[in-house]
Amino acid sequence: MKVTDYFEKAKGQTLISYEVLPPLKGGGMQAIFDTLDPLMEFKPPFVDVTYHREEFIYNKRASGYYEKTAIRKRPGTVGICASIMHRYGVDAVPHLICGGFTKEDTENALIDLNFLNINNVLALRGDARKFDGKFIPEPDGHKFALDLVKQITDMNEGKYLDTNIENGEKMDFCIGVAGYPEKHFEAPNMDSDLAFAKAKVDAGANYIVTQMFFDNQKYFDFVDACRNAGIDVPIVPGLKPITKKYQLNSLPRLFFLDMPDDLVKAISEAKNSEAMKEVGIEWAIAQSKELKAKGAPCLHYYTMGDSDTIRRIVESVF
């Protein structure tokens, strides 16, 4: 079933969903099951699976030459989605990125997904690889998520890259895209970012999932701004609890977000790491309760493999 059909069927009730990451360096499927098993009793209708482009580093050899080495190898998102669907009987939403994909690769990935009855995707650009400094698409790949959305919409209309394919099988993908309550870091301002978010929706995106945030007002303002800009699709808040003190600095650096004063103060004053973790969990519970009370369509939890913490939050809220 499509993600947006779940929202409609829920008739205003707030749903739950989770995001999981493919395990690193050849780890097995059990790592994903260990994360999801304790969380599935809360009946998420769908689970997202991220996609990670391979990173490379350059190691200097004794000869003075540099050797290119692949790091962070993760198994295929498509296979993980199929395993999740099979084990739990829920829908899986693979993330599909522009980075590292030619248009042909994307078309083939979509054909595989359709074949496996996976008809939801989250269409993203992907980040720059570390040594690139800025996002560089494949020579025949997409530069922006907008172009990826257009390709998926084309396939939903039976239009393939090879124009010789007439009356191609029409796909039926429900398309999610990313949104940024605190602005995407490359956008010159919020209006510009919203204009491109609107372009993604006009091109066929059916719903938006937000970047994490720690101040709910940022989400409410973002939803208002989207509505004012003519974006009328469901906007799902993405949530991540703080569980480690260093995240006070690393999350703003990695995700370009602000931490509210009260949260910074409470974490800084916590006596030890357990007390600090409690602050983070209680904050996420309060955020979730308010978002639910104000009618968010779904609370989307970035699990990052920490099912104990996510379970504590979800069982307090649902």
The reply to whether 124 sits near ligand FAD by the rule CB under 6 A is yes
Of the two residues 23 and 238, which places its CB atom closer to ligand FAD in the complex? 238
Of the two residues 32 and 266, which places its CB atom closer to ligand FAD in the complex? 32
The reply to whether 112 sits near ligand FAD by the rule CB under 6 A is no
Of the two residues 234 and 279, which places its CB atom closer to ligand FAD in the complex? 234
The reply to whether 186 sits near ligand FAD by the rule CB under 6 A is yes
The answer to whether the CB of 179 falls within 8 A of the CB of 206 is: no
| Unique residue bearing structure tokens 């509210």 | 260
The reply to whether 84 sits near ligand FAD by the rule CB under 6 A is no
Query: Which residues face 212 on adjacent strands?
Result: 238
Nearest 5°: phi and psi at 259? -100, 130
User: Distances from the Cα of 162 to the Cαs of 140, 154, 215, 288, in angstroms?
Assistant: 14, 12, 47, 46
Angle at 225 between CA 223 and CA 230, to 5 degrees: 95
Of the two residues 147 and 276, which places its CB atom closer to ligand FAD in the complex? 147
Angle at 306 between CA 305 and CA 309, to 5 degrees: 160
Per-residue interface string for the shown chain with ligand FAD, residues 225-244, x marking contact by CB under 6 A: -------------x------
User: Measured between alpha carbons, how far is 112 from 139 in angstroms, rounded to an integer?
Assistant: 23
Of the two residues 74 and 277, which places its CB atom closer to ligand FAD in the complex? 74
Binder to ligand FAD among 209, 259, 266, 314 (CB under 6 A)? 209
Stretch that binds ligand FAD, among 2-10, 28-36, 44-52, 258-266 (CB under 6 A): 44-52
Q: How far is the CB of 60 from ligand FAD (least distance, A)?
A: 27
The reply to whether 213 sits near ligand FAD by the rule CB under 6 A is no
Binder to ligand FAD among 56, 88, 196, 318 (CB under 6 A)? 196
Closest CA to 179 of 165, 161, 196, 162: 196
Binder to ligand FAD among 5, 55, 112, 127 (CB under 6 A)? 127
Token output for 151:
């390709």
Number of C-beta neighbours around residue 110 at 10 A: 21
User: Measured between alpha carbons, how far is 123 from 31 in angstroms, rounded to an integer?
Assistant: 25
The reply to whether 121 sits near ligand FAD by the rule CB under 6 A is no
Token output for 287:
């955020």
The reply to whether 20 sits near ligand FAD by the rule CB under 6 A is no
The reply to whether 151 sits near ligand FAD by the rule CB under 6 A is no
The reply to whether 92 sits near ligand FAD by the rule CB under 6 A is no
Binder to ligand FAD among 17, 151, 206, 211 (CB under 6 A)? 211
| Unique residue bearing structure tokens 């978002």 | 291
Q: Is 225 exposed, middle or buried (0-12, 13-18, 19+ CB in 10 A)?
A: middle
Rg from Cα positions in the chain: 20
Binder to ligand FAD among 126, 137, 204, 280 (CB under 6 A)? 126
User: Measured between alpha carbons, how far is 285 from 242 in angstroms, rounded to an integer?
Assistant: 11
Binder to ligand FAD among 7, 20, 32, 95 (CB under 6 A)? 95
Residues at the interface with ligand FAD (CB under 6 A): 50-53, 95, 97, 124-127, 144-146, 178, 184, 186-187, 192-193, 196, 209, 211, 238
